[in-house]
Amino acid sequence: MRLERTPEQLDPIAVFALRPIVSLVCAFAVCYAIISTIAHEDQIVNPLAAIAAILVLVAAAVIFIVAAQPGVSPMRGGTHVLVIGLTIVACILFAASVWGADHLIQDNWGQIAIGLLLAAMSSFRPPGEIIISSVISAAIVGGIAAAETPFLVIAGTPVLYATVAATPILAFSLAATGSTKVTTAAVLSWRATARRAIERLEPEIREGAARVVHQEQVALLNQEAVPFFTDLLQRDEVTEADIARAREIAISLRRSAVATVERSWLDEAIARTIVQSGASPQCLSSPLRDPDRLAEFMTTEQRGTLSAILLVISRGVGFDTRTLSVTIERTTSRCHLTLVAHVEASGRAIKAELLPYLSVLRVVAQDARLRVHQGDVALQFFYDQT
Amino acid sequence: MASDGSNTSDGNTSDGSNKGAGMSLGLPSHLARATNSRGLANAAHWAGLVCLAATLVNLGVLRAGHPFGTFAPAAIALVPMATLLILLNRRCTVPLTIAYLAVGAVCTFFYASTVLLATPTFINTNLFALSLPIVAMTMVGGAGSAALIGVLWATLGFALAELVIFVAAVVTDHGFRMDWGSLGAYLLLVTVLLIDGLTRGGRHLPQVTIHRAIREDQVIHIHHELSLESAADLHDTALSELITVANALPGPLAPALRRRIEADLHSLGQDRLPLSSSNPSGVVAEEIWLSSEMHAAIELARDDGLAIEVSGDRNALGRLSPETRRAIGLAVRQCLVNVLRHSGSPAADVAIAASESEVSVLVADSGRGYVQSDDHEDRLGLRNSVHDRIARVGGRVTIWSAPDVGTSVMLLVPTLDGRDVEVAL
C-alpha cells in the first residue's frame, strides 16, 4: 500500500485525537448554513433550492465524519473530491435560492462552509491537493459572486465580489496547509532521528542478547551433553551404552534446535503478552497458528502496532489467556492475520482503548477491522508477502 | 534438518527486518506540543497574508471604481505590515510580534482613514474592505507555546485593530460598526487555540505503548537472530560430535573425536562473552546496570519518544553503593524529564565515565537551553531535586546551559573506593 504524505498517514494517533474536531467543524458549518439561510429569509426566491442546499451540505458533512472514523481510515482522494464537490454543489444551490434578490456576498454561508471543510480536510489529504481544491472552489464561488454583482445592494465591480467570496476559502485552506506542512516536516524529521537512535541502540541490545543466548545454550548443553562429554573424555572409551546415550541426547538437542528455528518473533511477543497478563506461558500451547511462517513478512510498523495491541489486551481486566488465538493464512496474494481474544470488560471500554491502535493499523496494514462484542475482541488485517 | 530450517528462516528474517527499517510512528508528545504551536502560528500567518493580499486586490478594484479617490497611501501602508508578517512567519519572537502589532495598528489606521475618506458612499465601518486588515492583525500567531498566550496575542491584535478602526471612523466622520466577519475570525482562532490546548497530551499512552513495542520487538528480533546462529553453531559442534559418537563402534575414543570434544567444551567456557562460570564480575555488572534506576529512567524516557544514546562505561555503576546508585538514577531521571518537558530536543546523550574515586554521568541535549539566572519553577526543580539528591550522597552537580545551545548536566558521585579514601583522609 502506497503511503501519502498526509498528517493522517504520518501521525495517525495525533489525527485520531483530532477526530472530534472534524465532527465539530462539520456541525458548525451546517449550523452556520441553517442560521444564515434563516437570516436570508426575505431574500430567498426559491425555498426548495435553499432546503436542498442544506441537505446536500449535511450529506457532505456526514460523508466526511464517517470517512474520518478510524474503522474506515485513511481518507482517500475520492472522498476529498466527493465532500468538497458536494459542498460546492450546496453553495451553488444556495446562490440559486437567492438569485436576483441577494443583498450581500459576505453574509452568504457557501464560502465559509467550503473553507471550514477544506481546513478540516487538510489533516487527511496532502497540502498540494488541498491547495488545488481550494483554488478550484474559490474560482467557482468567486465566479458565482461576480455574476451576482448586478443584484447586490452595495455598488461594486465583479472582481470585488469575486474577491469577497474567494478570500475566506483561500485564507482557511492556506492557513490549514501552512499548519500541516509544519507538522509533517516535524514528523519526517523525528522519524529520521528515531531511525538513527534505533540503529545506534542495536549494538547495546545485541551485546545483551548475545550474552542471554550464550547462557541459554550453555544451560541447554549443561543438562546432558557436557556431563556426557566430560565422562567420555575421562574414560577415553566408547561403549554400547555411550552410543545409545549419544543418540538420545542428539535427538533431544536437535528437537530443541528445531523449536528455536521455528519459533517466530510473534511467538515471543505472544509469550510476553501471556507473561504480562500474569499467566505462565509454559502452561499453555501456543495460541499462534502460522504454518507457513508468514509472521516474518510483517514490517516493523505492523509488528510494533500488533505487539502494542497485544500489550493493551493483556493489560485488560479479566483477560483470559486461553481465549487468545492468532492465525495467519495466505490468501491469493496477501497474508491474512486474525486475532481473537476475550476480555471481561464492556465492549465500549475495550473499543475506546483499541481504536487509536486500529487507526495506526489502518495506515500501516490493509483492510484492518476490529469487532468487539460483549468482551469478544476480533481483529483482522492483511499485509503483503514481499 | 536444523540447518535447513535455519537457512529458510534467516532469509525470511532479513526480509522482514529491512521493511520499515526501524521507523517510529508519529511525533512523541514532548515534540508535538511545540510543533502544534508552530503549526498554528504558521496557519495564522498564512491566513493573515491572504487577507492582506485580498486587501490589495480590493484597493485596486476601489481605485478603478473611484477615479478621483486616492488610494496610494492605503496601499503603501500595507507594505510594512505585510513585510513584518512575513518576518514573523520566519522567526516568531516576542519583539517581532510586538513590532507587528504596533506597525500593524498604525498601518491599519492609515489604510482605514484613506479608504473611508476616498469613498464617501461608505457610511460606516461594517465593510469587508476594513475587516481584512483586522483579521490580519488578529492572526498575529504570536510567540509562545502555551495556548493561553496565543489567545492573548490574538485578543490584543483584534482589540488594537478595532480600536484604530474606531479612531479612523471618528477622524473621518464615519459611523463605527463592528463587522461580524472579523469578529467571527477572532472567535474561530480563539476556539482553535483553546481546543489545541485542551487536546494536547491525549495521545500519550498509545504513542508510548507503540514506541515501547517497537523497541521490544527489536530486542526480540535480535535475540531470535542470535538464537538461530546459536542453533547453527550447535548443529556444527556438540550435535555433530554426538552423532559421530552415536555412529561409532565400541572401543577407544578416536583421537580426532577427542580433540573436537575438547575444543567444544573449551569454546563453551570461553566463547564470545564472559559466562557465569568464567567471569562472574562481568555478568554481575551487567545485571547491576540492567536493574539500576538509571537504566529504568533511560527506558522510561525512550518510551516517551526521546532518542537517548548511552556511551561510556555502564558497568561503572557496579562501583557505587546501592544508595548512591539510586540517587544518581533518580537524578538522571529528573534530568531526562526536564529534557522532555523543556528542551524541545528529540534526542539526548548520557555519557558515563569513572575514575578510581568517582563516577560521572553527563546528561546533555541540544535543545532550547535557558539563561541560568532564570528562577523559573522548573529550573529550581532541576537545581533542588537533582542537586540536593546528589549532595546527600556526597556528590556534586554542574549545569551548563545557554539559550538555543542546549543544556548539559554533569553529575559526579564518589565510588565505594572513593568514600573509603575520604574516610581514611
pLDDT on residue B217: 85
pLDDT on residue B67: 58
Reported ipTM = 0.79
CA distance B373 to chain A (A): 31
Minimum-distance CB partner of B47 among A163, A171, A357: A171
The angle subtended at Cα B61 by Cα B60 and Cα B65, nearest 5°, is 120
Chain B residues lying within 8 Å of A304, measured CB to CB: 25, 210, 213-214, 217
pLDDT on residue B380: 61
Chain A residues lying within 8 Å of B217, measured CB to CB: 265, 269, 300, 303-304, 307
Q: Kindly state the helix (H) or strand (E) to which residue B22 belongs, with its residue range.
A: none
Report CB contact under 8 Å: B250, A253: no
pLDDT on residue B18: 38
- CB contacts < 8 A, A to B, total 340
Give whole-number Cα distances, A121 to A103, A321, B110, B332, in Å: 31, 41, 37, 43
Asked whether A141 and A88 are in contact (CB, 8 A), the reply is yes
Q: Is the pLDDT of residue B121 over 80?
A: no
Report CB contact under 8 Å: B210, A304: yes
User: Is B45 near chain A, with CB under 8 Å?
Assistant: yes
pLDDT on residue A25: 93
Report CB contact under 8 Å: A210, B12: no
pLDDT on residue B93: 86
Comparing B269 with B26, which gets the higher pLDDT?
B26
- What does the pLDDT average to over A303-322? 86
Q: In what order do the strands lie in the sheet with A376-384?
A: A288-289, A325-330, A334-342, A376-384, A366-373
Report CB contact under 8 Å: B16, A232: no
Minimum-distance CB partner of A182 among B42, B54, B305: B42
Minimum-distance CB partner of B16 among A176, A297, A360: A297
**Which chain A residue is nearest to residue B1, measuring alpha carbons?**
A258
As a whole number of angstroms, the distance between CA B324 and CA B338 comes to 21
As a whole number of angstroms, the distance between CA A202 and CA A200 comes to 6
- When the pLDDT of each residue in chain A is averaged and rounded to a whole number, the result is 89
As a whole number of angstroms, the distance between CA A257 and CA A238 comes to 25
Report CB contact under 8 Å: A13, B210: yes
Minimum-distance CB partner of B42 among A178, A204, A299: A178
Report CB contact under 8 Å: A17, B13: no
Chain A residues lying within 8 Å of B286, measured CB to CB: 208, 211
Long-range contacts of B154-163 (CB under 8 A, 24+ apart): B154/B44, B154/B186, B154/B189, B154/B190, B154/B193, B155/B186, B155/B190, B156/B101, B157/B101, B157/B104, B158/B134, B158/B182, B158/B186, B160/B101, B160/B104, B160/B105, B161/B104, B161/B105, B161/B108, B161/B133, B161/B134, B161/B137, B162/B134, B163/B105
- What does the pLDDT average to over A319-324? 86
Calculate Rg over the CA atoms of chain A. Answer: 31
Among candidate residues A370, A367, A361, the one with its CA nearest the CA of residue A341: A370
Which of A54-68, A265-279, A317-331, B6-20 ranks highest by mean pLDDT?
A54-68
Among candidate residues B418, B421, B422, the one with its CA nearest the CA of residue B316: B418
The mean-pLDDT minimum among A55-69, B198-212, B304-318, B324-338 falls in B198-212
User: Is B175 near chain A, with CB under 8 Å?
Assistant: no
Report CB contact under 8 Å: B47, A174: yes
Q: What share of chain B is helix, strand, coil (3-state, %, to 5)?
A: 70, 10, 20
- What does the pLDDT average to over B410-414? 92
Q: Is the pLDDT of residue A102 over 50?
A: yes
pLDDT on residue A284: 57
Burial of B403 (0-12, 13-18, 19+ CB in 10 A): exposed
Mutate to test the interface with A, among B210, B236, B295 (most CBs of A within 10 A): B210
Minimum-distance CB partner of B203 among A13, A201, A307: A13
pLDDT on residue B150: 85
Using DSSP's 3-state secondary structure scheme, residue B29 falls into helix
pLDDT tens per residue, range B11-33: 333 333 434 444 557 788 778 87
Report CB contact under 8 Å: B224, A264: yes
Chain B residues lying within 8 Å of A311, measured CB to CB: 209, 212-213
As a whole number of angstroms, the distance between CA B290 and CA B288 comes to 6
**Side chain identity at residue A49, one-letter code:** A
The mean-pLDDT minimum among A113-122, A135-144, B262-271, B362-371 falls in B262-271
As a whole number of angstroms, the distance between CA B277 and CA A107 comes to 84
Phi, psi of A105 (to 5 degrees): -85, -40
Cell of A373: 462484542
pLDDT tens per residue, range A160-182: 899 999 999 999 999 999 999 99
pLDDT on residue A141: 96
Cell of A32: 452556520
Report CB contact under 8 Å: B22, A226: no
Phi, psi of A257 (to 5 degrees): -65, -40
Chain B residues lying within 8 Å of A240, measured CB to CB: 250
Q: Is the pLDDT of residue B374 over 80?
A: no
CA distance A70 to chain B (A): 14
In percent, how much of chain A has pLDDT > 90?
52
Q: Is the pLDDT of residue A187 over 70?
A: yes
The mean-pLDDT minimum among A194-208, A306-320, B237-251 falls in A194-208
CA distance A380 to chain B (A): 18
Label the pairing between strands B347-354 and B396-402.
unpaired
As a whole number of angstroms, the distance between CA B348 and CA B343 comes to 10
Q: What share of chain A is helix, strand, coil (3-state, %, to 5)?
A: 70, 10, 20
As a whole number of angstroms, the distance between CA B230 and CA B232 comes to 5
pLDDT tens per residue, range A346-381: 888 888 889 999 999 999 999 999 999 888 999 999
The mean-pLDDT minimum among B318-327, B374-383, B390-399 falls in B374-383
Q: Is the pLDDT of residue A108 over 50?
A: yes
Cell of A219: 544451560
The residue whose grid cell reads 487538510 is: A122
Q: Within 10 Å of residue B56's Cβ, how many Cβ atoms?
A: 16
Chain B residues lying within 8 Å of A208, measured CB to CB: 286, 290
Burial of A35 (0-12, 13-18, 19+ CB in 10 A): exposed
Asked whether B177 and B124 are in contact (CB, 8 A), the reply is yes
CA distance A92 to chain B (A): 21
Q: Kindly state the helix (H) or strand (E) to which residue B358 belongs, with its residue range.
A: strand B358-365
User: Is B271 near chain A, with CB under 8 Å?
Assistant: yes
pLDDT on residue B418: 61
pLDDT on residue B3: 36
User: Is B309 near chain A, with CB under 8 Å?
Assistant: yes
- List, in sequence order, every residue forming a beta bridge with B251; answer none if it has no partner: A238
User: Is B38 near chain A, with CB under 8 Å?
Assistant: yes
As a whole number of angstroms, the distance between CA B150 and CA B142 comes to 6
The mean-pLDDT minimum among A222-236, B163-177, B223-237 falls in B223-237
- What does the pLDDT average to over B114-121? 81
Cell of A300: 516493523
In percent, how much of chain B has pLDDT > 90?
24
Quick one: three-class SS letters along B33-82?
A: HHHHHHHHHHHHHHHHHHHHHHHHHHHHHHHHHCCCCCCHHHHHHHHHHH
pLDDT tens per residue, range B65-112: 565 556 777 888 889 999 999 999 888 888 999 999 999 999 999 999
Report CB contact under 8 Å: A272, B276: no
Q: What is the DSSP letter of B315?
A: G
pLDDT tens per residue, range B286-340: 778 888 999 999 988 888 888 888 888 888 888 899 899 999 999 999 899 888 8
Q: Is the pLDDT of residue A344 over 90?
A: no
User: Is B119 near chain A, with CB under 8 Å?
Assistant: no
CA distance B59 to chain A (A): 9
- When the pLDDT of each residue in chain B is averaged and rounded to a whole number, the result is 80
pLDDT on residue A298: 92
Where b means 16+ CB within 10 Å and e means fewer, B138-172 reads bbbbbbbbebebbbebbebbbebbbebbebbbeeb
Q: What is the DSSP letter of A73?
A: P
Report CB contact under 8 Å: B26, A212: no
Contacts of A146 (CB under 8 A, 6+ apart): A158, A159, A161, A162
Domains present along chain B, CATH in parentheses: 29-199 (no CATH), 286-424 (3.30.565.10)
CA distance B125 to chain A (A): 14
Minimum-distance CB partner of A160 among B61, B272, B275: B61
As a whole number of angstroms, the distance between CA B421 and CA A127 comes to 66
Q: Kindly state the helix (H) or strand (E) to which residue A381 belongs, with its residue range.
A: strand A376-384
The mean-pLDDT minimum among A246-250, A313-317, B100-104, B315-319 falls in A313-317
- What does the pLDDT average to over B38-45? 90
Name the pLDDT band for A280 (thresholds 50, 70, 90). Answer: low
Report CB contact under 8 Å: B218, A205: yes
Give whole-number Cα distances, A167 to A93, A160, B193, in Å: 20, 11, 22
- List, in sequence order, every residue forming a beta bridge with A319; answer none if it has no partner: A343
Q: Kindly state the helix (H) or strand (E) to which residue B242 belongs, with its residue range.
A: helix B238-246
User: Is B381 near chain A, with CB under 8 Å?
Assistant: no
Give whole-number Cα distances, B410 to A119, B351, B383, B386, in Å: 47, 9, 12, 10
Using DSSP's 3-state secondary structure scheme, residue A155 falls into coil
pLDDT on residue B315: 83
Name the pLDDT band for B10 (thresholds 50, 70, 90). Answer: very low
Label the pairing between strands B406-414 and B358-365.
antiparallel
- List, in sequence order, every residue forming a beta bridge with A235; answer none if it has no partner: none
Cell of A73: 481510515
**Side chain identity at residue A38, one-letter code:** I
